[in-house]
Structure 1
Amino acid sequence: MTTEPTTTRPRQGRMRNLRLGRLLRRPPLLVHLAAFALTVLIPALLFSAFLILQFSEQQKEIAASRVADTAEIISDAIDREVYGLVTAAKVLASSSLIDDANLPEFHRRTVAALGSANTDALLIDPALHVVLDTRMPVAAALPGSVDTTAAEAVFRSRLPVISDVLFSRQSNELVFHVAVPVLRGDKVVYVLAIIKKARDLSTVLTDRKLPAAWTAIIQDRSNRKVIAARASNGQMRESETESHNPSIAELLGKDMTGDLIEASYASILTGWRTTVAVPDRVIGQPIMRSWLLLVGIGVLLLAFSAGLAVFVGRRIATPILRLADQAKAIGKGGPALPIHTNIEEIGEVSKVLASASRERREAEEQNQFLMREMSHRAKNQYALVAAIARRAAKESASTNEFLETLSEALNSLARSADLLAGKGWESASLDDLVTSQLKAFGAGNSEQIEMHGPVVNLSSAAAQTLGLALHELATNAAKYGALSVEGGYIRIDWSLGENFVLNWSEHGGPPVVEPKRSGFGTLVTQKMTARGLGGEVAMTYAPTGVVWKLTAPCESVLPH
């Protein structure tokens, strides 16, 4: 029987430790992908949790604001009902039947007026005796137990008074009085009090469509219940409680769990207080659903991320291992075919030689493109020079004049070309173009030139066309116009709006006379410029100096 060497187990342990250390230093691609997914997912979940917290705070603020608004709305609705009773009482108090002491007829008309509103009326004299009660026949003995507190207050203040709720023996339920003075001159001869059942105000609450568990209660100045209601199935229903001074907790009953969001509003007209409340849990239900949804989505996303990490890790790891095999083959001097993979980076590493060849071809194609571009621009220049030469030959009277005209035009084109060459033949500044063309006449930076206008970059074609026009205008000004004498100057201004507008005006020169014959200069400054820029040219030979104006579309002047 042989025994295993005692060094085997420690050696295996060291090997496991080495593999574990190497794994920690260089974890596989799957671990990197999983870490990346968690790095992206966890901040998103935390941010979602933060948004839910913010949402819960906002919902509580919105609920508190809505509760306060609802309390005010209900109080205003009660006030409108009561104010309608005040108005009805004032109308009845102004009846002439009271002055004529015709109480039977006043009784009949009052009953007819108040019958549809389900209300009654009392007429009380200064001795606080009830002289008329529409609940009783005219000839019947009037009860002596009627509450006259509101009537006393009216006699003292001479103003309408709305009472607190009180129990009526006649109707065996809670009512309130709306008492107004019967004024005759400055004297209160009677007090007319309208009796209204408190439960008749319940329609103000039941007409409100509020979410479930919302509760509203109206209490008088003595904190006695006027009416109370709670929402059920989207509709407010009157709550019957035995207590004359119920609390919100009594109205909610078994639904009273946790905190309440409540608000109160006191009426200026009646002095009654309207309180609206809703359990905090009602607002918290959608928030709790949001938390549960976040947890569920988080679990699903974690599972999806783990599966995606395994799937993507295998798709990436396989071509990388094949790339390692290719590198081993290259190291041994064997053939190494390009790897076909849908991962661009691995494919680029595998095709490094083809990439170098492709870059060389791209460089050659770029050189060919530049040569074609230079050839194209040279052809354009040749065509322009040929057109100028033909026009100059046609308009010149002699060979010398032709050569001089052509030489000046070529010099003008050369100056424009110098400006364009500095900007890659893309554009040229209008300021630089004016300065360059007038500098040939010794006026480029002198006091004889005034330039005004915004910064404008001209296209290459527009720069050459305008350069020729400015050269011809400056030539004429130097020979016959403002540049031919001391003190003369030229004002050049331009603007960009719906169109490009360039103005040339001469000042302080000798009197100008319109030439009898139009030569090459007139052709360049008017016809060629207008046609080349697709615009209009106006030239005026004013006695004070030549005025030249170009109007052209902006798209024909500005670079594309």
Structure 2
Amino acid sequence: MSLGNNAGPSKRFLQWSRLSFPWARLRPGRFTHAMLRPSLLVHLTTLTLIVLAPALLFSAFLIFRFSEQQEELARSQVYDMAEIVSNAFDREVVALLATARVLATSGAIEEENFPSFRNRSVRALKDSGIVADLVDDEGMVVISTAPTQTDEPAIQQHERDVVSAARESGNAGVSGVAYDPRIKRAVFLVAVPTSDAPGSRFVVVLTKPLESLERVIEKGSLPGAWSVVVEDRAGKKIFSAGAADGQMFGPRVFAAESLDAPPHAGGGAEEQIVAANTSYLTGWRSTVSVSTEIIERPIMRSWYALIAVGLILTGFSIVLGILTGRRVARPILELSRQARAIGRGEPAVTVTTNIAEIGDVSKVLNRASRERIEAEEQTRLLMREMTHRAKNQYALVAAIARRAARESADTGQFLDTLSDALASLARSADLLSSQNWESVELSALIDNQLSAFGVQTRRIRYSGPKLRVNASVAQTIGLALHELATNAAKYGALSVDDGVVTIDWSYDDVFRMEWRETGGPPVKPPTRSGFGTLVTQKMTSRGLGGKVSMSFAETGVVWSLEAPTESAEPVTGKHGD
């Protein structure tokens, strides 16, 4: 009882699954067949996807090339920006060196009028924040424009090295970052000797706060998320602007407590494009960096857009393939029904469709249906005609056989005579069958019957207008020509090398045809009427309803035929050999 209760729900579930999932109704054989021979819908959908694929692949290739070009462009821009930043700071230093050279040429220094030098320097550097110092050959500050003095040395040790190098070489020098206790700021200085010759007694030193360099590169002059760091020869930071640790900041110089911090040119551990340029004038290193994420972000947006567009186009292609497939499949199915109707021999109704090719095929099938029905009618008529002709052939063969039996002296002669006549009829039948048993050209009939007797060697020559004769006339004339040629080959013109047979015919009020032999041995009339006479005269005259005459002149046999015009039909042109 429990089995029966469980069987009901299982059966209902199976039925529900088959209704809900049509593919569940496919047997393995049908599924395999569907995979091996997909439907038109599948083919069209696949075709649309194949057409779409190159466009998507080409778009992906363009994005890939775009990403490479963007990275190359970004690297080029970073290198250019590093050089631009370095040149900008060099211009600031060059301007400071120019001021220092002007002050170094003051006559007050040669006269050792230091207060005058200080007054001139104060006027030249007014409101600039720059401090001017005159340093002697012992490294001591002789006079200074600093607003306050401290117990700490005004010139730090590494700055003393720059001043000493300028005095000894006679060339200007630029220091790195230092801290000036007098103005309590991070600074850098330039040193210009008062003489171009090595060993100058005095050196003019201009000390400039780093914060004055903020105006060199402003925040708006950098692309977003780019970082710039300028460092001196010792790696101490002079300037920073851009993005670091994911945060944007403007131009920034560094306080004294941060001068010894390690260099930093970008944010975090993310991958960056970095370029650096070292100034030949100052030895300062300008480093520009940008995160590759900034470059990849628009590229990723392009990839996402391509994927989204690709999915949309793929869905659209599938829907388009299905709709087009259904539109094409319906008339094709109607074509198959039309073809099956043709196979059954039934009239095929033309398929109505707006697809030109299918409409043309349907018209062809409709025409084929009509032609098949007509051909079947013609076949039935032809069968009846063939039956009628076969009866006539049988009657003709029987008549030939009876007459040959009467005219033959023995069985061998009878068989030879009958065999030759049947061979002649067979050749005529072959020729007529190639013309659908309608009619043949008279010249073709002559070639057909006399090919074995030398018609190709010009021993048998013929000429006359182009005529066609029907099947009955062709068989009758064919037998006569074959019999005449056989006799000529045995006893007449064709039995010697110099003999010639000439066949002429004309067509006006009657149809005339003449066989004339020349160049052969002397001819004598036969002593009795045999089978040859029957074929060449009696059968021919009765078969064509005309007159036949045959003369046995000493120069050769002359056979003439005169028949009504219905025996032949003129064709344009003329044959002659």
CA offset at residue 237 of structure 1?
3.4
Instruction: Tell me the secondary structure at the aligned position of residue 121 of structure 1.
Output: strand
Structure-2 residue corresponding to 1:182: 194
Unmatched segments (≥5 aa) in structure 1: 4-12, 357-560
Q: Match for 1:192: what amino acid?
A: V
Post-superposition CA distance 1:149-204 (Å, at most 9, x none)? 32111112111000111111012121011111101877513100111111211222
Unmatched segments (≥5 aa) in structure 2: 5-23, 369-577
Task: Tell me if 1:80 matches 2:95.
Answer: no
Structure-1 residue corresponding to 2:183: 171
Post-superposition CA distance 1:428-483 (Å, at most 9, x none)? xxxxxxxxxxxxxxxxxxxxxxxxxxxxxxxxxxxxxxxxxxxxxxxxxxxxxxxx
Query: Would you say the 8 A contact 1:160–1:180 is kept in 2?
Result: yes
Correspondence for 1:230 among 242, 245, 261: 242
CA offset at residue 15 of structure 1?
8.4
Q: Match for 1:279: what amino acid?
A: S
Q: Classify 1:294/1:184 alpha carbon distance in 2 versus 1 (closer, same or farther; 3 Å).
A: closer
User: Between Structure 1 and Structure 2, how many residues are aligned?
Assistant: 342
Instruction: Tell me the secondary structure at the aligned position of residue 271 of structure 1.
Output: coil
Matches within 5 A, 1:140-539: 144-147=153-156, 148-183=160-195, 188-206=200-218, 209-231=221-243, 236-238=250-252, 243-247=258-262, 249=264, 252=266, 255-352=267-364
Post-superposition CA distance 1:66-125 (Å, at most 9, x none)? 111111110011111101111111111111222233322221221111124331211111
Structure-2 residue corresponding to 1:506: none
Give the structure with higher Rg (CA). Answer: 2
Q: Distance in 1 between matches of 2:112 and 2:254?
A: 43
Query: Would you say the 8 A contact 2:101–2:192 is kept in 1?
Result: yes
Q: Distance in 2 between matches of 1:290 and 1:201?
A: 40
Task: Tell me if 1:71 matches 2:82.
Answer: yes
Q: Distance in 1 between matches of 2:193 and 2:123?
A: 21
Instruction: Tell me the secondary structure at the aligned position of residue 300 of structure 1.
Output: helix
Structure-2 residue corresponding to 1:61: 72
Instruction: Tell me the secondary structure at the aligned position of residue 258 of structure 2.
Output: coil
CA offset at residue 257 of structure 1?
4.1
Instruction: Tell me the secondary structure at the aligned position of residue 208 of structure 2.
Output: strand
Correspondence for 1:91 among 97, 102, 112: 102
Query: Would you say the 8 A contact 1:215–1:248 is kept in 2?
Result: no
Query: Would you say the 8 A contact 1:213–1:279 is kept in 2?
Result: yes
Structure-2 residue corresponding to 1:452: none
Instruction: Tell me the secondary structure at the aligned position of residue 222 of structure 1.
Output: coil
Normalised by the length of structure 2, the TM-score is: 0.54
CA offset at residue 142 of structure 1?
8.9
Q: Distance in 2 between matches of 1:351 and 1:114?
A: 103
Query: Would you say the 8 A contact 2:276–2:287 is kept in 1?
Result: yes
* 70-79 or 117-126: bigger deviation: 117-126
Q: Distance in 1 between matches of 2:44 and 2:26?
A: 27
Task: Tell me if 1:126 matches 2:140.
Answer: no
Task: Please list every run of at least 4 consecutive aligned residues from structure 1 whose deviation after the TM superposition is greater than 4 angstroms.
Answer: 140-144, 184-187, 231-236, 239-242, 245-249, 332-335, 353-356
Query: Would you say the 8 A contact 1:124–1:192 is kept in 2?
Result: yes
CA offset at residue 272 of structure 1?
0.7
Q: Distance in 1 between matches of 2:263 and 2:342?
A: 86
Structure-1 residue corresponding to 2:388: none
CA offset at residue 220 of structure 1?
0.5
Post-superposition CA distance 1:225-276 (Å, at most 9, x none)? 1111115999843275753244565x64xx4242121011100000011111
Query: Would you say the 8 A contact 2:169–2:197 is kept in 1?
Result: no
CA offset at residue 14 of structure 1?
12
Query: Would you say the 8 A contact 2:231–2:285 is kept in 1?
Result: yes
Post-superposition CA distance 1:34-63 (Å, at most 9, x none)? 221232333433343333333222222221
Task: Tell me if 1:109 matches 2:120.
Answer: yes
Query: Would you say the 8 A contact 1:37–1:309 is kept in 2?
Result: yes
Instruction: Tell me the secondary structure at the aligned position of residue 179 of structure 1.
Output: strand
Post-superposition CA distance 1:290-321 (Å, at most 9, x none)? 22122212211221111111111111111111
Q: Classify 1:237/1:177 alpha carbon distance in 2 versus 1 (closer, same or farther; 3 Å).
A: closer
Q: Classify 1:332/1:114 alpha carbon distance in 2 versus 1 (closer, same or farther; 3 Å).
A: same
Q: Match for 2:166: what amino acid?
A: V
Q: Distance in 2 between matches of 1:237 and 1:64?
A: 22
Q: Classify 1:225/1:88 alpha carbon distance in 2 versus 1 (closer, same or farther; 3 Å).
A: same
Q: Distance in 1 between matches of 2:263 and 2:360?
A: 75
Structure-2 residue corresponding to 1:49: 60
Instruction: Tell me the secondary structure at the aligned position of residue 167 of structure 1.
Output: strand
Q: Classify 1:306/1:115 alpha carbon distance in 2 versus 1 (closer, same or farther; 3 Å).
A: same
Instruction: Tell me the secondary structure at the aligned position of residue 268 of structure 1.
Output: coil
